[in-house]
Structure 1
Amino acid sequence: MAPPKVCASCKQNIEGGPAIIALDKVYHPEHFTCHECKAPITGSKFQEKDNEPYCDKCYADKFLTRCKACGDPITDKVVTAMGADWHEDHFVCGGCKAKLIGTKFMEIENAPYCQKCYTEKYADKCKACGKPIVTQAVVALDAKWHQLCFKCSKCGKPIMKDQSFRTEGGKPQCVKC
């Protein structure tokens, strides 16, 4: 005759009735409960941490990383960017809301932006043409310029970054003019 089964929770014998075997222990069905909320775990699905059973909700609330955008636990793929974790669908541009996974993005005020939105909203604008500067800028005369927009006000030729220039009336002039 087999020795009696002892419930891991109440320490009483399990005699003739149903028993649950989980985590190398035996339980009365009503005693197999979530370690956190103490609700009975029904069905065959539960989570385990440190050899203790948890219902899905308690496990997610207690142990899973949370999405920076919505605050909910992340149960699937985790996107880690900008020092935070995100749901895949929540790591989106702060402007157009396009998904940013696998793309280049810029961080502005703790929000990610796609290159297009960053350029339109935040990139420095050229003093001459007013368009965003997405490459190296020429910094001169208390302003930023596209390399080819920084021109001599007399002859119209670009003043290259290694050339000297002077100003007349606050406008750049190449040394030749």
Structure 2
Amino acid sequence: QVSVLDPSPGAAMKTEPGLAPRSPATTPGPASRPPWAVDPSFAERYAPDKTSTVVSKHSQPATPTPMQNRSSIVQAAQQAPEGPGRTPLCYKCNKVIRGRYLVALGHYYHPEEFTCCQCRKVLDEGGFFEEKGSIFCPKCYDTRYAPSCAKCKKKITGEVMHALKMTWHVQCFTCAACKTPIRNRAFYMEEGQPYCERDYEKMFGTKCRGCDFKIDAGDRFLEALGFSWHDTCFVCAICQTNLEGKTFYSKKDKPLCKSHAFSHV
């Protein structure tokens, strides 16, 4: 609770860069203050050249990169039936193929010789992956090349989510509050945890003391009298003169200009 400060010449205050305009009354507890005020690293993370004691801007939400699907790079060998007049050479053994053969990566193979370079499994069906000139069955490819999920640490063999310079299962990259997968939607980070926009505003958002509307991302704001204000809303309660950077007085948690310091509010 902010105590009432009777206006007097000694009670004048002024907003200055680096100093929050505040009353010498009791400072509100952490629970009533916005994240940029209670989190020492907020200004460093989102506005390195500013702190919460001067006009700043809300952080902009991050957005994950589009999801990638592993199935988009899997390939399949095409089986060709026996036919007269065709005597292709096997790419692996360099011998003439008589009978059924496979076509993969622009080459011909005996079916039994188109195999995974790791487990030697025949790849005549089920698909395969090509990596740096080597052929892999899906299982061996995943073991060697599939990215790991930053949350569960397991290999990602389906859709891959890229966020925070890491890879995730789609179902593992979720809002810390509602647990809903964020997928391609924007999100905010708070104390190392991602939050969807709705929950971030609900849990960490704040309202302007002057207009009672929330301070959105990108809005300029300042702190005074223990509250947050849009820079255009911090005005004298009597004459509406903007008080940003000016000497002001306080009565009943309302800012007053010098001319109206002794007026009733």
- Cα contact 1:125–1:145 (8 A) shared by 2: yes
1:85 maps to which residue? 167
Question: What is the identity, as a one-letter code, of the residue corresponding to 1:120?
Answer: K
In structure 1, the residue matched to 2:156 is 73
TM-score (norm 1): 0.61
Length-normalised TM-score, structure 2: 0.45
Q: Deviations over 1:32-64 (max 9, x none)?
A: 432123344352522222332211122123223
Of residues 176, 182, 189 in structure 2, which corresponds to 1:94? Answer: 176
Cα root mean square deviation, aligned: 4.5
What is the 5 A alignment of 1:5-84? 8=92, 22-23=104-105, 24=107, 26-27=109-110, 29=112, 32-41=114-123, 43=125, 45-70=127-152, 71-76=154-159, 78-84=160-166
Query: Using the alignment, how far apart are the partners of 1:25 and 1:39 within structure 2?
Result: 17
Contact 2:205/2:215, CA 8 A, preserved across alignment: yes
- Taking the aligned partners of 2:240 and 2:148, their CA distance within structure 1 comes to 55
SS at match of 2:188: strand
Q: Is 1:140 equivalent to 2:246 in the alignment?
A: no
Partner of 1:105: 187
Q: 1:38 to 1:165 in 2, by over 3 A?
A: same
Q: Do residues 175 (structure 1) and 263 (structure 2) align? A: no
Given that 2:171 and 2:181 are in contact with CA atoms closer than 8 Å, whether structure 1 keeps it comes out as yes
After superposition, what is the alpha-carbon deviation per residue over 1:69-116, rounded to whole angstroms, capped at 9, x for unaligned? 44432434x433222233444443221123434433212234321122
Q: Which sections of structure 1, spanning at least 5 residues, go unmatched?
A: none
Percent of counterpart pairs with the same letter? 24
- Greater relative contact order (Cα 8 A, min sep 6): structure 1 or 2? 2
SS of alignment partner, residue 142 of structure 2: helix
* Contact map agreement 1:7 1:14 (CA 8 A) in 2: no
Name the structure 2 match of 1:118: 200
1:146 counterpart SS class: strand
Give the counterpart letter for 2:141 in structure 1. Answer: Y
1:28–1:119: structure 2 CA closer, same or farther, 3 Å change rule? Answer: closer
Q: Which runs of 5+ in 2 are unaligned?
A: 1-85
Q: Is the 8 A contact 2:101 2:108 kept in 1?
A: no
Q: Do 1:89 and 1:99's aligned partners in 2 also have CA atoms closer than 8 Å?
A: yes
Report the AA paired with residue 177 of structure 2.
Answer: G
